[in-house]
Amino acid sequence: MVEAGQNNKLKAHARGIGVSPGVVIGPVFLLASQAVKVVEQKLKPEQIDHEIARLEDALIATRGQLKSIQEDLGEQTGGRDASILDAHLMVLDDRAFLEEIIKKTRNDCCNVEVAVRDVAEGYAGMLASLKDDYLRERVADVRDVARRVMRNLTGDIDTALGSLTQKHIVVANDLAPSDTATLRKDVVSGFATDLGSPTSHTAVMARALEIPAVVALRDITQRVRAGDIVLMDGNKGVLIVNPSPEELEEYGALAEARKSIERGLDRLHDEPAETSDGHRITLSANIEHPDEIAAVTQHGAEGVGLFRSEYLFIFRGAAVDEDEQAVAYTKLATALHPDPVIIRTLDLGGDKFFRDGLGHDEANPFLGCRSIRLSLQYPQQFKSQMRAILRASSVGNVKIMYPMISNVDEVLQANELLEESKQELRDNKVPFDDDIEVGVMVEVPAAALAADALAEHVRFFSLGTNDLIQYTIAVDRVNERVAYLYEPTHPAVLKLIKMAVDAGHAKGIWVGVCGQMAADPVLAPLLVGMGVDELSVSPQAVPLVKDAVRSVSYEQSRQLAETVLKCRSGTEALRHCREMVREAAPEVLELI
- Catalytic residue numbers read 201, 514
Are β-strands 17-20 and 213-215 bridged in parallel, bridged antiparallel, or unpaired?
Answer: antiparallel
Give the chain's radius of gyration (CA, Å). Answer: 25
Instruction: Tally the residues of the chain.
Output: 592
Q: What are phi and psi of 266, to 5 degrees?
A: -60, -35
User: How far from 25 is each of 139, 233, 240, 248, 382, CA to CA, in Å?
Assistant: 31, 9, 9, 9, 53
Instruction: Compute the distance between CA of residue 120 and CA of residue 52 in angstroms, rounded to an integer.
Output: 16
First vs last C-alpha separation in the chain: 24
CB contact burial 63-85 (16+ within 10 A = b; e otherwise): bebbeebbeebbebbeebbbbbb
Instruction: Compute the distance between CA of residue 296 and CA of residue 588 in angstroms, rounded to an integer.
Output: 21
Q: Comparing C-alpha atoms, which of 95, 94, 88 is closest to residue 68? A: 88
Q: Comparing C-alpha atoms, which of 359, 340, 338 is closest to residue 350? A: 359
Q: Greatest CA separation found in the chain? A: 82
Omega within 30 of 0 (cis) for the link into 543: no
- CB-count burial class (<10 Å; 0-12, 13-18, 19+) for 88: buried
Q: Any residues with CB less than 8 A from the CB of 348 and at least 6 apart, and which?
A: 310, 313, 354, 357, 358, 359, 370, 371, 374
CB 495 within 8 A of CB 532: no
Q: How many helices (H) and strands (E) does the chain have?
A: 26, 17
CB atoms within 10 A of CB 156: 14
Instruction: Compute the distance between CA of residue 295 and CA of residue 292 in angstroms, rounded to an integer.
Output: 5
CB atoms within 10 A of CB 433: 19
H-state helical runs in 307-407: 311-314, 322-336, 372-377, 379-392
Instruction: Compute the distance between CA of residue 214 and CA of residue 114 in angstroms, rounded to an integer.
Output: 33
Full DSSP string of 495-515 = HHHHHHHHHHHHTT-EEEE-S
Q: What are phi and psi of 172, to 5 degrees?
A: -145, 160
CB atoms within 10 A of CB 330: 19
